[in-house]
Structure formats: structure tokens, C-alpha cells
Amino acid sequence: MAGARFAGSWLGNLIYDGLLRVDPGLCRGWSEHKAVLAVARKGDADEAASLLRDQLAAFLDGSSRRSGNRRTGVRLLLVADTHLPKRAKDLPEPVWDEVATADVVVHAGDWVDLDTFDALAMHSKRLVAVYGNNDGPELRAWLPEVARVTLGGVRLAVVHETGDAKGRAARCDAQYPDADILVFGHSHIPWDSTTPGGLRLLNPGSLTDRRRQPFCTYQTAEIRDGQLGDVELHELPPKG
């Protein structure tokens, strides 16, 4: 079980409850983020907890001071199936630009390498993420199979696989009755539909492996006034 090695510690409780795994972006700054991960992976729960406490306090203090300037909407960047470094050496530059402006980055699994997770967690204001079928033990130790968060009053769930397209709507209605949006991946096929039960199903496609699709893709959207606005599918230029 992920987090079992930290049992009984403050950090262990965070990992066990899925809070740190769902929102590792609380670690602000590359050196601080890497420091927490390094000591946690060595099993030094007390030192990791101390580092994370300090960073969390600084993060909350900064959020409080910035709250007066924050816009009311929540801008989302949805990505999946990055498959680095097999399919590419890095994420496409337009995606890093989107990361810089997004309030929340959602990754629906199949990272493959831990470095991409570390980098995206460090650069994102907030990261909501899961592991996929191609992700190994290191990533599964830090990421849940299913992530659930509420953003701007909208209940969002994230999972890598939902099964075949046939019957997907009924399965997802049954499996995620407490969600308004379900973001998924695995197929590398962009998807945007609403189930009979009112669940919005979104698959951003793949950033690096288009398979039989004409383009590699990702999605952006904004939550405002408790509602999900228009979802935009972005097509990345072909690799040179």
C-alpha cells in the first residue's frame, strides 16, 4: 500500500489519505520540492514532514496575500498519455506555456517516467493526477488510481482507463455517481460527451503519441460560477 512505510507519521497520514499525491504542487520551488521527495523516498518521515510543514505554511501565507487579486474562474489544463521519454524527450513547448497559466493541471496517467511527474508538479500551481497502466512502482507510490477533487463547486474525478467506448456512459454513471466531470486517458483518442446521468466525460488525447488520430492533442477549460464552461481541444503541430 502506498505510504505504508510512513505509517504513524504526519507525512504518512497525508500520503495515506491521498492529499500529497493528489496535490504535490504544494511543494513550491524546484530545490524544495526535490528535497521533500528525496527524504521521503529514503523513508525519513520526520525530516520530510518538517520540510513539508514549512513549505505548506509559506504556500498558505502566499495564497492569503494573493487572494485579493485572484480571478473568480478556475482555468484547467487537461493532459494524458505523455509516455516520456519513449515518445518524446519533453512535453511540447505550447503545453508548458499552458501549464504556466493554468490554475489546475490534470494528468490522466501514463506518465512512464518519474522526472515528468516531478517537473510538472513543480511548475503547476496545482496538479491533480493519477497513474496509468504503463506507470511503474515509483509513480504508483506517489499517485492514486482515482483522484477526486472539488474545484469551484464542480466535482471532478480522474482515472486512466474507462474501458471500451461501447457502454462507457452507463459504466461511468454507475462508477462515478458523485462526480460532475470525469477526465480519463488510455485510448489516445480525444473525447467529449455527456452521459444520460449528466456526467461530462473528457479525454484530452495524447501529447506525444497520436496513434491513428490526425494530431497530438490536449484540452483546456474554465470553471466559473459553479459550472464547466466550453472545453477546447488543442491540436499540436506535427513533429518536424
Residue 126 has pLDDT above 70, yes or no: yes
Buried-state track 21-60, b at ≥16 Cβ within 10 A, e below 16 = bbbbbbbeeeebbebbbebbeeebbebbbebbeebeeeee
pLDDT attached to residue 102: 96
The span from the CA of 28 to the CA of 31, in Å, is 9
Provide the residue ranges of all domains of the chain, joining segments of one domain with +: 4-68, 71-235
- What's the CATH architecture for 71-235? 4-Layer Sandwich (3.60)
Tell me, what's the pLDDT at 90? 82
Mean pLDDT of all residues belonging to the chain: 79
Using CA atoms in the order 90, 111, 8, 36, what is the torsion angle rounded to 10 degrees? 0
Q: Answer whether residue 187 shows pLDDT above 60.
A: yes
Residue 80, SS3 per DSSP: coil
Judge if the upstream peptide bond of residue 214 is cis by omega within 30 degrees of 0.
Answer: no
- Residue 46 pLDDT: 62
User: What DSSP element (H or E) covers 175?
Assistant: helix 168-175
Residues 81/186, Cβ–Cβ less than 8 Å: yes
Per-residue pLDDT averaged across 185-214, rounded? 91
Q: What is the pTM of this model?
A: 0.73
Q: What are the pLDDT digits (tens) for 32-89?
A: 445 555 555 555 556 656 656 555 555 444 444 444 445 569 999 999 999 887 766 7
Percent of the chain with pLDDT over 90: 52
